[in-house]
Amino acid sequence: MHEPPEKNRDLICINTIRTLAMDAVQQANSGHPGTAMALAPVVYTLWQRFLRFDPDDPIWPDRDRFVLSIGHASMLLYSMLHLTGVKAVNPQYERLGHVAVTLEDIRRFRQLESRCPGHPEYRWTSGVETTTGPLGQGVAASVGMAIAAQWQAQYFNRPGFEMFGYDVYALCGDGCMMEGVSSEAASLAGHLRLANLCWVYDNNRITIEGHTGLAFSEDVATRFIGYGWNVTRVGDANDLEMLERAFNTFRATSDRPTLIMVDSHIAYGSPHKQDTHAAHGEPLGAEEIRLTKRNYGWPEDAQFLVPDGVHEHFAHGIGARGREARSAWLATFEQYRERHPQLAAQLIQMQRRELPQGWDRDLLPAFPADPKGIAGRDASQKVLNAIASNLPWLLGGSADLAPSTKTRLTFGGAGDFSAANRGGRNFHFGIREHAMGSILNGIALSKVRAYGSGFLIFSDYMRPAIRLSALMEIPVVYIFTHDSIGVGEDGPTHQPVEQIASLRAIPGLITLRPADANETIEAWRLIMQLRHEPVALILSRQALPTLDRTKYAAAAGLAKGAYVLADAKDGRPDVLLLASGSEVALCVEAHEKLTADGVKARVVSMPSWELFEKQSAEYRASVIPPGVRARVAVEQASTFGWAQYTGPTGEVIGMKTFGASAPLKKLQKKFGFTTDNVLAAARRQLRRRDG
């Protein structure tokens, strides 16, 4: 039997991708087949001819990254993962040997426990580089991946040893282009001249509501040229030669990122489908699938067909090329390990999200007791710099607020990351909070430890990215300062009220609000040892008293989320005072006065509800005894959620309205955040108990 001509073999593989997408969506009776069908030639060309990726080792550090930002076209990626034989990898970085996506997984597309969920999910399906679905998030995260590649190359590469030099490809559509986060991210990518970044834009002019002309008429090419990108165009997504030329243009461009605009159109079996192919958030229907397969010259009644030779063709293309590239890299790494043993050890530690020995050797043992104290943001700056000086791959920045959030790394050699300095560890994201969050995700997905900062009120601008950090279980550190009405004169627009409660509502996110400088030390000690949990570290602008830890409990209790800070002498309190952050000091003052009056009170510092809920029932009961019903909670934030700790009869001193513009002390008095008000609430609780 004669081998089919190369063009025929290409077309067979492309139509295999298309028909798998059609069949999977039809069987699931749910999904988006059109985009996967239209872009099959694009992804085929990229993977088979360009992508440096070894299916046998999908976590090889120097692999090219492929991001499907149009996550609704997930069958496009699942088809490639199956056809190229990508192997599954578990969280312990042990290659398991079996394929990540079986044909049975594709048959069970969008079904419970299938490795082919509705949108690609990181850590669930090996070969998926980032969770996508919310449009724009994938392309924005790809900017972080490109940044990480540049930083890793600058830090680890040595003459004769290129340990990092990978490219990042992201496939996006009109929805991604309309989302504001992509504009923020593209602007920064152009400014940083990330020449290792390529976005492929499916210019199909269709969204769910219809033609893009309903709401989108801008000149995307001119827009990206304005951002400082190289822009090239492919007039027909089915033209493999023009696609190859476009990818070669990207590879030859060394001074800016590249946007490849691809005009896509697909021929369905029925003429009436021609202008509505791309969005298709629904199956095509059995008859339409038969007609379309006939149009492809495909067996009309065959389902989930992978013709003979398709797997082998991919094995001889991306498989062989990726295996050769990875083998060469591993051989180079062994020589690198001999020549640069410290760097090689760090590279491995970074990939495994492990900490080097001595990472905490410069941490302050404790801040001395001080009634005037220090602001949370200032204490954090000291701790962050102490850690970062011993952890080279800890880096980050802020959305134009580093002087206020105190997140700048100030030790010698830290420097600023820029187009001229790829080794800098301070990042300037500009006033782009949303993109900053997504870019941090991309950096963290590349195994570099990333943090970003802003005012707590602006966490609202970052919420989609924070949610994805938690969903993907990646240890991004979000540093939020100006944590309360303590912002004072800036007024309600800058005073966070509901933000802490809303962050606590995100599953998998650890929200930490330390009470003083020593809890801030312990917060960072905990944060750096996390491997799969993102953190929102919430810090004050104003000074907080540094508690006397010879008198009160050690700040190490923070690691359990809540702990008994001050207690009745016999350990059997009549009233509980619960608080986080700056309000803990108020409760300590109230405790002293209650104790002087013969009232048995306990102060519980509660920096993290999430960590507290992970403790045993016995520990939680030892901190908040169920039998003690007289309870007062104090927090300069929404009262929402505190009832789970105060019970139905407890009292919460918190914010039930927005704030106001005034000096801090006047605001504290107006909204009840005073020692006298805490005392009054405690006595009301005791009277209620005794009544």
Neighbours of 597 (CB within 10 A): 10
**Res 280 pLDDT > 60:** no
User: Are 116 and 24 in contact, with CB atoms under 8 Å apart?
Assistant: yes
Helix (H, G, I), strand (E, B) or coil at 372: strand
Question: What whole-number distance in Å separates Cα of residue 122 and Cα of residue 108?
Answer: 18
Mean residue pLDDT across the chain? 94
In DSSP notation, 67-126 reads EESSGGGHHHHHHHHHHTTPEEE-TTS-EEEEESS-HHHHHTTTSTT-S--SS--TTTST
Strands 449-455 and 477-481: parallel
Structural domains in the chain, CATH included, are: 6-326 (3.40.50.970), 370-545 (3.40.50.970), 561-690 (3.40.50.920)
| Backbone φ, ψ for residue 565 (5° rounding) | -90, -45
User: Are 174 and 199 in contact, with CB atoms under 8 Å apart?
Assistant: no
Residue 278: the pLDDT is 40
pLDDT band at 364 (very low <50, low <70, confident <90, very high): confident
Annotated catalytic residues are 433
Please name which of 472, 414, 465 lies closest in space to residue 437, comparing C-alpha atoms.
465
Please name which of 503, 402, 378 lies closest in space to residue 451, comparing C-alpha atoms.
402
What is the pTM (predicted TM-score) of this model?
Answer: 0.96
**Res 205 pLDDT > 80:** no
422-449 pLDDT, tens per residue?
Answer: 999 999 999 999 999 999 999 999 999 9
**Res 391 pLDDT > 80:** yes
17-26 pLDDT, tens per residue?
Answer: 999 999 999 9
Residue 95: the pLDDT is 67
**Res 545 pLDDT > 90:** yes
Question: What whole-number distance in Å separates Cα of residue 198 and Cα of residue 493?
Answer: 38
Question: What whole-number distance in Å separates Cα of residue 498 and Cα of residue 21?
Answer: 43
Residue 32: the pLDDT is 85
Residue 541: the pLDDT is 95
- Cβ within 8 Å of residue 391, ≥6 positions away: 355, 356, 359, 449, 528
Give the residue-averaged pLDDT of 130-134. Answer: 96
Strands 543-546 and 651-655: unpaired
Give the residue-averaged pLDDT of 543-547. Answer: 97
Residue 94: the pLDDT is 66
- Cβ within 8 Å of residue 45, ≥6 positions away: 240, 243, 244, 247
Residue 608: the pLDDT is 98
565-584 pLDDT, tens per residue?
Answer: 999 999 999 999 999 999 99
475-510 pLDDT, tens per residue?
Answer: 999 999 999 998 989 999 999 999 999 999 999 999
616-662 pLDDT, tens per residue?
Answer: 999 999 999 999 999 999 999 999 999 999 999 999 999 999 999 99
Question: What whole-number distance in Å separates Cα of residue 11 and Cα of residue 672?
Answer: 72
245-272 pLDDT, tens per residue?
Answer: 999 999 999 999 999 999 987 656 665 5
Question: What whole-number distance in Å separates Cα of residue 461 and Cα of residue 459?
Answer: 5
112-130 pLDDT, tens per residue?
Answer: 999 999 999 999 999 999 9
